[in-house]
Structure 1
Amino acid sequence: MRTKYQRAFDHVAASHRLKEEVRNMTKQERRALHRQVPKTLLAAVLVVLLLAGTALAVSTPGIQDWFRQYWQEATGQTKMDKGQAAAVDGLTQSVGSQAAGQEREEDVIVELPGAVGEETAPAAGPESGTSSPASREENAAGPEDTAQSPAAEAAAVASEVTVTVDSVTAGKSNLWILLHVSGDYQPGKHYSFWSGWLEGAPEKSFEEVGIVVSTGIIFSRDNTRVREDGSLEMLVRYESPDPTADLTESRDMTLELEDLRADGEVLVKGRWEVPISLSATETQPPLVLENVTLPLTEDGVTRQVTYQKVEVTSTGVQLTCAPQDWKNALAFYDMVLVLKDGSEVATEGGRANWVGEADVSPYVGSFAWKMPVDLDQAAALRFRETTVPLA
């Protein structure tokens, strides 16, 4: 595989067999397994762009209310028309499942074998809510300790905090998930979880090199607020690492969250596992353009960027380019969807990956709109200064 890669991906997952072996270890047997992956191999596997959002002032709970606020910001309209409201409601499902916090299992750091001399990510430390096996042994309560251990205290607090998945809006390559977190929180603080994953969500496998890529939950300060009763509401996102996956199909998943934080500090140490069961969702037919060539000016130099296919859905857009042009997949991450009334809906994030094996299959950049959009109102895509009609 060629090594002209310049971008990094989120997470490399160990094989299911390795995970099972680690689970079956006793506490004495568990140890950090260092896993190094060459940067040159990983660099272009997956790209995450987290773009800044806009502060919101939502008066009532509900995932549709967040989208109504976005709609007002984009169009100036205080109310969605019937087509736009139907586009949002048709992709949204009530879930209502919840789980109380529980004590986390001991942290097990699993790393892949790789090239010698390659730089690796720093090990998780106290600031991330984890500790080394040695520090856990030193802090473990001895036979004569009568006080409750810090872990037990944390578990007791976590059990009092319930996380509820209120509803989910599903797009082809992304999900919006509305969470309610019980408790009494303070407005103005930044609340998030230290980590979040969707067990059962799509993964991207590169069989040629034995790597499995999975992605985590995206938290945003602007998509978090304290409700009137003092509880917490979070609109979080998931973006699939597999460009061929379709998240509008029926799927059973488990949302796994660890360690609730406030302004970067661990507030509640624990683990939450919330089941999510989604039915298949009917979507509007995508708008597809083929062989689109666009001018891209960077540092005063203009070059031509060609996409084999541009597919616009009600929840986002996918740009497909030839394997050798993989750098172009994210060249226009700041594109917008232009509506017939002249309003514009921006993207809020994206990622890119190969359709098949790395470096030899088409490379796809997938971007999510700020909200679902009625495609009957879509008029054009604007790539920086270039506007491409969709009709």
Structure 2
Amino acid sequence: MNKKAIIVLLCIGLIFLLICWPHKVVIKLGIFAGSNWDVPSGDSYYVIDHAIERFEKKHKNVEIEYQSGILKEDYSAWLSQQILKGEEPDVFMILSEDFNTLSSLGALKDLHGFMKQDHQFDTSLYYQSVLQAGIFQKKQYALPYESNPTLMFVNKTLLKKEGISIPDNDWSLDDFYRICQKVTKDSNHDGIIDQYGYYNYDWLDSIYGHGGQLFNEDGTMCYLNQQSVKDSLVFLQKLTALNQGYRVSAEQFDKGQVAFSPMPLSQYRTYKPYPWRVKKYSQFEWDCVKMPSLSNQQGHSQISTLLMGLSSRSQHEQLAWEFLKTLTYDQQTQTELIEYSQGISSLKTVSESKHTLDILKEEAGDSQVNLSLLKDVMENAMNHNQFKKYESALNLLTTHIQQIIDNNADIDTSLIDLQKQMNQYLKD
């Protein structure tokens, strides 16, 4: 064989190798540093890095890349810039306040096709309350990565001083009011109330406790003129009257002058164990119970959910879907979230496992936060409505309703007028 033929064969062989040799596929991941729940966090990248390591080991020609050091407060702006440049990650975290906007703008991939074709994926393994958080206009655009239900902080020292037992987890709104009424007083007899029933319990807590619903699914109608909403505002007016118009401060809460306050599970898990309990709430004994509701059959707690989704422009959508599952659906990843983060898994089998219960017991010791409570809270939680104007509509409602409460205005008339305003706003 002459020299020219050998060179031709070598070139053909090289071309063949270039075509057939497996190329490295890079999947970009968008995440931020620290905790989503604004509490102290240790190694915030551990769970992610471990998931990446396992995924890359299983997929030999795939590399997962992410930019470290992005703070949560900068993340939304960073993600928006990446989307504008067409350089957004294939898989990325979605803050709750950004989900509606990203979905409505078409930045997120509809996951229905993946979920339907993937026979190893079962949506029933999730708590439906948190799976719902990733739905926009009846389409699943994101999956829950981590959840954070709201509990009720209880100052055990204050209640003991007043001869009151810590409430059971099935306590009612009437129980809540009666205890607040009993503990609200001028304890040093100087003519000024210095002990209070509650701090930071707002109108939304009361709405959910009464089983109310503010909007329809599409966000085109506001349901203010209904009995559950009226009852919730009347209840809040009664609570506010106990303090004679005074607004309790965070400092008074920290000093132990307040019996109750809504508290995210993340704060409970952070500040209940040593050493953080020494730095906060160390002057009194405390615990958490379920949020009070109208009855066991009526009423919900608020829950926040950190979502993850896929870019609608991903060039590697099947691999991106597999990695999304590794983060949000994989038992090992979700179990490590329990160990290294402060929220709770959105998977029933993980959150209701003995391992999770053992972790909570070790963190909190003798506590009323148990598996039964968490299961009940997660199954009956209320996520935010998912429509484009939700955040702005909620801000408007908060302003107007706070004025109704502060001015002790007539509930019926005020809600009729406010509902007309809100429905017009939603239509515009």
Using structure 2 for the length normalisation, give the TM-score. 0.19
Q: Give 1 or 2: higher helix fraction.
A: 2
Q: Give 1 or 2: higher strand fraction.
A: 1
Larger Rg: 2
Of structures 1 and 2, the one with the larger relative CO (CA 8 A, separation 6+) is 2
